[in-house]
Amino acid sequence: MNEKPNILLITSDQQHWNTLGITNNEVKTPNLDRLAKQGTVFTRAYCPNPTCTPTRASIITGKYPSQHGAWSLGTKLPENEHTAGVIFGNNGYKTALVGKAHFQPLAGTEDFPSLEAYPILQDSG
């Protein structure tokens, strides 16, 4: 069988290792526990940066924040960075990024307007 496996990468903010039911029976996370039992769980993973933008950018580029340029929350991951999405797409996968990744700058520019820029960020209309 030459079918490609489905790949689902779930990341979260402030997720401590013992805030999942599979590692702490005082916590109830049945859906994440089921995914963990059927997939891969990393037991010795280290975060390259304490904030979300640099860490997510490192996950999809395989680079340290000092290499990919998204070194802090609100810094833009350069458009020309080679990402896992590009690699998967080149190999026949359909890819999507769902949720908040914070790959856009907090201050938009004419060339790169940002939905995360103020005052747009708080415009609930």
Report CA-CA distances (Å) from 47 to 34, 44, 55, 77: 24, 10, 6, 17
Distance CA 116, CA 122 (A): 9
Give the residue numbers annotated as catalytic, written as ranges.
52, 102
